[in-house]
Amino acid sequence: MKPFEVKDCTLIAIATGVQAQNLRELREKMETIHPGSIYYHFWGGMLHSRFEEPEFNNDFAAWVRHALHDPVLAERLAVIDPTDSPDLEALRQELIEVMEERLYELEHIPWARPGEEFHFIRSQIVVFDTHRRLRDPEELPYLLPNFSLGSLFYHFIDARRRTPEGVDDFRAWLCGFGGKYDDLCEMIAAIDPYFTTLTELRQILSKVFMDYFGRVI
Amino acid sequence: MRELELYGQVAGKDVVEHLRQLASLLKGLKVVHINSTRRGGGVAEILERLVPLMKELGIEAEWVVIEGDEEFFQCTKNFHNALQGTPVSIPESVLQHYEEVNARNAEAFRELLQEADLVFVHDPQPAAMLKFCPDRKGKWVWRCHIDISRPYRAVWKYLRPLVASYDASIFSIAEFAQPLPHPLYIIPPSIDPLSEKNRDLPPEEVEATYRAFQIDLERPVLLQVSRFDRFKDPLGVIQAYRLAKKFVPALQLVLAGGGAVDDPEAEAVLQEVEAAAADDPNIHVLFLPPEADRTINALQRGADVVLQKSLREGFGLTVTEAMWKSKPVIGGDTGGIKLQVINHHTGFRVNTPEGAALRARYLLHHREIREAMGRKAREFVRENFLITRHLRDYLTLMVSLTYEVQERIELS
């Protein structure tokens, strides 16, 4: 079995130069914006330093709440879970539908003040090799608490759009042990990667591995 | 010990390993940085450290400074003001002179520029040089350090075609970026934790510095360090100090800064500030030479609260410097300050002298909160605004442009 290669990563932001001043513009720009921008505005924030839990897990909801002052639409956007959509195009369509529905309900289009426009950003990912290798899944409970947040993002978040099966790297690796870890894979699959922070995810995953291997060792 | 390892002690070993992995793809690359001043201002400070670090990583990096006369720098100062939104009329003859100076500088560095694999042109002063290097073989990147989110249109109309021809541009935050027909990288600037301006200092040196300026460290000190520039609102800072002093009678204000070769307005602004402060011996206006880095370091370390009450700001590296010294910052709610000063965590963002006075009073009256915010501020800088992160972003961009990468860079 190939060892698990521990990687680290960072994102570098690239402005698209596309911006929206009001809800109609946001909806229109959403039609054609680079799919990487939708990805960034849902997931990119996880790698930012934060002092508090984010009020909204995606940038669209946060902007609608704080710049357009529309709490109704903000809540509807905030509840969208990107892991429910098979791909970014499906996620784009869901966003557009929610925005269109709101535009239909409103008599006046909400505007942001100058200086508070929504700026569409995309990113490039840079993947580093930590040169750490896991040969045995039983090493996971010891290694995971020391994963950097970049490592966690790469293996648990980025993996879902990188791997052909659309799963995290832990499950992809464990599947190669001939069904021995199917129950562990199910436990990992049950973790919602979205409505949380990377620090919390690291704790949750560490606990899953600790409990699992603590039980079978 | 090599420089990079010293940085590893501050920023973490992994950070240096990341730099080495990125640089392994860039060995021997010829890189040129061009700007308009060797000393004074954030750009020169960054290049002073970035270029030697690139060299240590095996990149053939050089830094060249263009030469210009008074008329040229008056014109580029007007560009600077106009790009930050001030309506400025620049006669055609002055624009012609701007291009002539750029052409002369392009001629002076022609061989270097034509042979370079990557050229980074900082700010508008040397931006027209690309036009005069038609036989370039490498990629050219325009690095804009200022807030051009709402430029004065007439001046932007002139400058836009000059910068649109570049292969990429870099802005400090996404809000500053203007639509241009090439990739627009977002790279916040940084400070160097090992430089004279930011390294740890013995407390005796801090005390001696304050004594030399006859400022009493036993009494509370508000400090703003910045060039004497109207966008930094030094008069607003004096007003805020006067409002706060009614409630903190022992308060002192220090306004410390200097000028730069490419800033002809500094002298006039300094005179306005001195006039406004003349009747109060507790306001200390210090016009410091460019080499006063250690003095600034000591002033920042000795202050109780640091202000950066800018009306417009590119990034505000003085904010980063103060935060690195564990000081909460009261900053103008503008530009890169918004990225650094997180309300109630690393300081407060304000819009008026009244707001600045209110927050200053709060921080001066709550020592424990002030110190806790200072500790958070330092860690925030460690994670986000040290030169190692800045260098990593530059190397990423260089790999992207050199290998024409779209979305993923995989290193080993």
Closest chain B CA to residue A6: B412
Closest chain B CA to residue A50: B380
Query: Looking at CA atoms only, how far is residue A121 from chain B in angstroms?
Result: 7
The whole-angstrom separation of Cα B77 and Cα B203 is 38
B239 φψ region: left (φ > 0), alpha (ψ -120 to 50), beta (else) = alpha
Last residue of a domain, one of A57, A88, A122: A122
**pLDDT above 80 for B374:** yes
If you ran DSSP here, which 8-state letter would residue B250 be given? T
Q: Would residue A182 count as lying in a domain?
A: yes
Q: Which residues of B305-373 form beta strands (DSSP E)?
A: 305-308, 329-332, 347-350
| Sequential DSSP letters for chain A | -PPEEEEEEEEEEEEEEEEESBHHHHHHHHHHS-HHHHHHHHHGGGGS--SS--SSSSHHHHHHHHTS--HHHHHHHHT--GGGSSSHHHHHHHHHHHHHHHHHH-SS--BPPTT--EEEEEEEEEEEEEEEEE-SGGGHHHHGGG--HHHHIIIIIIHHHHSTT---HHHHHHGGGTTTTHHHHHHHHTS-SSSS-HHHHHHHHHHHHHHHHHHH-
Q: Would residue A184 count as lying in a domain?
A: yes
- Answer whether B177 sits within 8 Å of A12, measured CB to CB: no
Q: What is the mean pLDDT of residues B315-321?
A: 93
Do A147 and A116 fall within a single domain? no
- CA-to-CA separations, B279 to B210, B274, B275, B285, in angstroms, rounded: 21, 9, 8, 12
- Degrees to nearest 5, angle at CA B162 with B158 and B166: 150
Residues of A in contact with B11 (CB under 8 A): none
- Mark out the alpha helices in B57-152 (DSSP H runs): 70-83, 92-108, 110-115
Do A109 and A152 fall within a single domain? no
The whole-angstrom separation of Cα B111 and Cα A83 is 53
Give the type of residue at B382. Answer: R
Q: Would residue A131 count as lying in a domain?
A: no
Dihedral sign for Cα B230, B235, B236, B241, please: positive
Domain of residue A207 covers 136-216
Query: Looking at CA atoms only, how far is residue A186 from chain B in angstroms?
Result: 29
Least confident of B54-58, B177-181, B323-327: B177-181
Do A112 and A142 fall within a single domain? no
The whole-angstrom separation of Cα B243 and Cα B148 is 32
Question: CB within 8 A of B223, min separation 6: which ones?
Answer: B253, B254, B256, B299, B300, B303, B305, B306, B307, B322
Residues of B with CB under 8 A from a CB of A: 14, 17-18, 21-22, 149-150, 171, 174-175, 177-180, 183-187, 342, 345, 376, 380, 383-384, 392-393, 396-397, 399-400, 405-412
- Answer whether A16 sits within 8 Å of B184, measured CB to CB: yes
Residues of A in contact with B187 (CB under 8 A): 12
- Answer whether B179 sits within 8 Å of A125, measured CB to CB: no
Contact B284, B255 (CB under 8 A): yes
Q: Would residue A22 count as lying in a domain?
A: yes
**pLDDT above 90 for B39:** no
- CA-to-CA separations, B39 to A66, B42, B48, B107, B382, in angstroms, rounded: 41, 9, 9, 23, 25
Dihedral sign for Cα A20, A26, A31, A33, please: positive
DSSP three-state, residue B335: coil
Query: Looking at CA atoms only, how far is residue B144 from chain A in angstroms?
Result: 13
Last residue of a domain, one of A82, A97, A122: A122
Q: What is the mean pLDDT of residues B387-394?
A: 95
- Answer whether B383 sits within 8 Å of A121, measured CB to CB: no
Q: What is the mean pLDDT of residues B351-373?
A: 97
The whole-angstrom separation of Cα B129 and Cα B287 is 33
DSSP three-state, residue B214: coil
Do A118 and A141 fall within a single domain? no
Residues of A with CB under 8 A from a CB of B: 8, 10, 12-18, 36, 49, 51, 114-115, 117, 119, 121, 124-130, 148
Give the type of residue at A200. Answer: E
Do A178 and A115 fall within a single domain? no
Q: What is the mean pLDDT of residues B220-239?
A: 95
Residues of A in contact with B376 (CB under 8 A): 51
Nearest to A119 among B21, B174, B397 (CB): B174
Last residue of a domain, one of A122, A148, A172: A122
- Answer whether A14 sits within 8 Å of B383, measured CB to CB: no
Helices (H) and strands (E) in chain B, counts: 16, 13
Do A112 and A147 fall within a single domain? no
How high does pLDDT run on average in chain B? 94
Residues of A in contact with B406 (CB under 8 A): 124
Query: Looking at CA atoms only, how far is residue B184 from chain A in angstroms?
Result: 5
ipTM value: 0.88
Q: Would residue A61 count as lying in a domain?
A: yes
Q: Would residue A130 count as lying in a domain?
A: no
Query: Looking at CA atoms only, how far is residue A114 from chain B in angstroms?
Result: 9
A155-197 per-position pLDDT tens digit: 999 999 888 888 999 999 999 999 999 999 999 999 988 888 8
pLDDT for the residue A209: 95
Nearest to A15 among B17, B174, B411 (CB): B174
Question: Could you give the domains of chain B?
Answer: 3-190+386-403 (3.40.50.2000), 203-384 (3.40.50.2000)
pLDDT band of residue B264 (cuts 50, 70, 90) is confident
Residues of A in contact with B180 (CB under 8 A): 17
Do A180 and A103 fall within a single domain? no
Joined together, the tokens standing for residue A134 give 């896991």
pLDDT band of residue A217 (cuts 50, 70, 90) is very low
Do A107 and A147 fall within a single domain? no
The whole-angstrom separation of Cα B343 and Cα B359 is 11
Q: What is the mean pLDDT of residues A97-110?
A: 96
Residues of A in contact with B185 (CB under 8 A): 12-15
Q: Would residue A1 count as lying in a domain?
A: no
The whole-angstrom separation of Cα A31 and Cα B410 is 30
- Answer whether B408 sits within 8 Å of A125, measured CB to CB: yes
Closest chain B CA to residue A52: B345
pLDDT band of residue B147 (cuts 50, 70, 90) is confident
**pLDDT above 90 for B13:** no
Q: Would residue A88 count as lying in a domain?
A: yes
pLDDT for the residue B261: 58
Do A101 and A51 fall within a single domain? yes
Closest chain A CA to residue B409: A126
Q: What is the mean pLDDT of residues B30-58?
A: 91
**pLDDT above 70 for B259:** no
**pLDDT above 80 for B262:** no
pLDDT for the residue A161: 87
- CA-to-CA separations, A25 to A33, A36, B55, B77, B136, in angstroms, rounded: 12, 19, 46, 35, 40
User: How many structural domains does chain A have?
Assistant: 2
pLDDT for the residue B366: 97
Report the percent of chain A where pLDDT is more than 90. Answer: 80
Residues of A in contact with B150 (CB under 8 A): 114-115
Q: Give helix A35-43 / helix A59-66 axis angle, nearest 10°.
A: 80
Do A101 and A201 fall within a single domain? no
The whole-angstrom separation of Cα B158 and Cα B177 is 17
- Answer whether B22 sits within 8 Å of A16, measured CB to CB: no
Query: Looking at CA atoms only, how far is residue B274 from chain A in angstroms?
Result: 33
DSSP three-state, residue B18: helix
Joined together, the tokens standing for residue B305 give 């609260």
Question: CB within 8 A of B339, min separation 6: which ones?
Answer: B173, B188, B315
pLDDT for the residue A187: 96
Nearest to A125 among B180, B187, B407 (CB): B407
The whole-angstrom separation of Cα A111 and Cα A104 is 16
Do A35 and A103 fall within a single domain? yes
Nearest to A119 among B175, B384, B411 (CB): B175
Q: What is the pTM of this model?
A: 0.89
Do A107 and A18 fall within a single domain? yes
pLDDT band of residue A79 (cuts 50, 70, 90) is very high
